[in-house]
């Protein structure tokens, strides 16, 4: 089955049948002013490394620049993005922090979730406090940044294995939000050993 991805003026087309790819390119180039960049190596800041064994996607360059921009490039790495069992509230501990600064950091970290599903839960948690962040919320964000510092080479590897099995995992915590008593749920779909869809 062919796959076509569009983003504003960028197009990704993939298919195992090389003739079909050639035909599609020919039709598109007749209709639109296009440039064929051959095998994809970057897309929207995501590095794409293609090999015989599969495709690896990562955002190392963005992560390094992000840490430098927010003065965390020399921070000590940690092994997990968030402390186990942490409970945050709107009131939080400490003084309020600049909401604009907080939103810039959280927005940049959100972009990293494109290839880093392992930070999604932590990002969902801190995103709740963007309107009036406190010092405790900023400390949690800085912990995520310290985790990124130690894992800049992490990404997603999609194996070219012929054995494809789709598996879904899901979990919930009922009423875990201390302020509004809302539940948090998450799920991920795996193709082989790689996450392909998560929330």
Cα separation, 184 vs 34, in Å, equals 44
- What pLDDT score does 77 carry? 96
Q: Quick one: average pLDDT of 147-166?
A: 86
Cα separation, 139 vs 145, in Å, equals 10
pLDDT, greater one: 46 or 188: 46
pLDDT 10s digits, 8-30:
567 777 767 778 888 888 888 88
End-to-end CA distance of the chain: 25
- Band (67; pLDDT cuts 50, 70, 90): very high
Residue ranges in the chain assigned as alpha helix (H): 18-31, 60-69, 99-112, 120-127, 135-150
- What pLDDT score does 177 carry? 62
- Band (66; pLDDT cuts 50, 70, 90): very high
What are residue 109's phi and psi, to 5 degrees? -65, -35
Q: Quick one: average pLDDT of 142-161?
A: 91
Q: What predicted TM-score, i.e. pTM, was given to this entire model?
A: 0.77
- What pLDDT score does 174 carry? 65
- What pLDDT score does 91 carry? 77
199 has a pLDDT exceeding 70: yes
């Amino acid at each position: 089955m062919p796959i076509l991805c569009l983003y504003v003026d960028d197009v990704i087309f993939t298919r195992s049948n090389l003739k079909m790819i050639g035909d599609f390119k020919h039709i598109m180039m007749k209709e639109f002013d296009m440039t064929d960049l051959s095998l994809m190596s970057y897309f929207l800041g995501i590095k794409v490394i293609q090999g015989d064994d599969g495709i690896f996607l990562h955002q190392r360059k963005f992560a390094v620049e992000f840490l430098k921009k927010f003065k965390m490039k020399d921070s000590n790495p940690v092994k997990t993005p968030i402390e186990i069992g942490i409970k945050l509230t709107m009131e939080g501990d400490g003084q309020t922090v600049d909401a604009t600064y907080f939103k810039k950091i959280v927005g940049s970290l959100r972009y990293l979730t494109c290839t880093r599903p392992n930070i999604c839960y932590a990002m969902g948690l801190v995103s709740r406090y963007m309107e009036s962040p406190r010092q405790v919320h900023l400390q949690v964000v800085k912990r995520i940044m310290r985790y990124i510092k130690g894992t800049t080479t992490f990404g997603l590897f999609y194996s070219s294995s012929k054995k494809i099995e789709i598996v879904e995992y899901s979990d919930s915590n009922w009423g875990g939000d201390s302020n509004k008593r809302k539940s948090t749920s998450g799920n991920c779909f795996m193709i082989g050993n790689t996450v392909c869809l998560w929330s």
